[in-house]
Structure 1
Amino acid sequence: MDMKLEVVVLPVADVDRAKAFYAEQLGFRLDADFTVDDSYRVIQVTPPGSACSLIFGTGVTAAAPGSLDGLHLIVTDIEKAAAELTERGVAVDGPFRDASGVFHHAGSTGRVAGVHPERRSYGSFAAFHDPDGNGWFLQEITQRAPGR
C-alpha cells in the first residue's frame, strides 16, 4: 500500500502573520482559509512544486508555536534558492554542508560554510526560520538515490 505524506501541521502563534509569511513572502500557494468561529480557523498552503501542504491556524494543534524543527524543502540549486529567499526578506543561513558528510547536525553544530565540494546530491543545505521560530532547511538534490 502506498502512503504519501500529504499534510504537515505547523504550530504558529499569529495566524495572519504566518499566512503573510508563507503565502505572500515565500510565495506558497494559498489553498484554503476557513474560519468556523473564533476558536477554529484552518489555513492550508503548499510550497511550489510540492505534493505536501502545510496546515496552520487556530485550534488545529496543541503543539507550542515554533516547536517544529527540521522541516525540509528540496531544491535543485541551493545557491539560487537561498538567494531567492534572501531577496524575499528571509534571513537564510548558508549554503553549508555538514562536516560529517552524512546529513546535518541539530542546531548549527558541524556546519561548514559553502556547498558540498562536489555538489553531491543531498550534501548541501541552507536554513531559515518562520516568524514563530519553526525551523526549515533547504536541501539540494539534483539526482535522487535509487528507489526514491
Structure 2
Amino acid sequence: MITQPKFAVLHVVDQGRAVEFFAGTLGFEVLTDAPCGDGDRWIEVRPPGARTYLVLAAGDPELAARIRERRGPMSTVWFDSDDLDATFAELSAKGVSFPVEPQAAPWDPGGTTRWAQFADPEGNLYGISAQD
C-alpha cells in the first residue's frame, strides 16, 4: 500500500541559488547535499519536521524555459502553512515576492481555506494555503 509521497523533484537552473532560497530564506532543512556527477549535486531539502522532501535537481536552462513556456510559471508543488499571515509577513520581510497575497481561496465554498502564491529566484510560483 502506498502511504505518502517521499519526495518531489524540482528542476532548477542554479542549484546553489536554489539551496540558498529554500534553506537560507525559507528555512528548510538540508537533508543531503552530495556530488552527483558532472558537477551537479543531489540536494534534498524539507520544511522542518516534514516527512516529504524536495530534490533540487540540476536542470537544463533551455529545457526549463520551454517547460515554463508551455506550463506557465506555476510549479507543481504546493505548500501548507500553520499560519498564512505570519508566514507571509516573515517571508515578505526576507524579500520573497508574493504575486498573490493571502486571500480567501476561491475554490473553497466553505470559506475556511486561505491561500497565497510566492516566487522563487528563478521565477517559479508556488501555492501556499492554510485552514482558518
TM-score, structure 1 length as denominator? Answer: 0.71
The aligned amino acid for 1:76 is D
* Offset at residue 59 of structure 1 (A): 6.5
The answer to whether the 8 Å contact 2:11/2:59 transfers is no
* Offset at residue 70 of structure 1 (A): 4.5
Gaps of 5+ in 1: 103-115, 143-148
3-state DSSP of counterpart to 1:133: coil
Report the Cα distance in structure 2 between the residues aligned to 1:33 and 1:100, rounded to whole angstroms: 38
Q: 1:11 to 1:99 in 2, by over 3 A?
A: same
Structure with greater proportional helix content: 2
How large is the Cα RMSD of the aligned pairs? 2.5
Given the alignment of the two structures, is residue 101 of structure 1 paired with residue 108 of structure 2, yes or no?
yes
Question: Any runs of at least 4 consecutive aligned residues in structure 1 with deviations exceeding 3 A, and if so which?
Answer: 65-68, 98-102
Asked which structure has the greater CA Rg, the reply is 1
Q: 1:98 to 1:58 in 2, by over 3 A?
A: closer
3-state DSSP of counterpart to 2:85: helix
Alpha-carbon deviations, 1:6-35, whole Å to 9, x = none?
101001111111111111111100111111
The aligned amino acid for 1:35 is P
3-state DSSP of counterpart to 1:76: coil
Partner of 1:24: 24
Partner of 1:73: 79
The aligned amino acid for 2:43 is I
* Offset at residue 39 of structure 1 (A): 4.8
Q: 1:36 to 1:76 in 2, by over 3 A?
A: closer
* Offset at residue 101 of structure 1 (A): 3.4
Partner of 1:46: 46
Given the alignment of the two structures, is residue 58 of structure 1 paired with residue 58 of structure 2, yes or no?
yes
The aligned amino acid for 1:89 is G
* Offset at residue 100 of structure 1 (A): 4.9
Report the Cα distance in structure 2 between the residues aligned to 1:100 and 1:134, rounded to whole angstroms: 22
Given the alignment of the two structures, is residue 88 of structure 1 paired with residue 94 of structure 2, yes or no?
yes
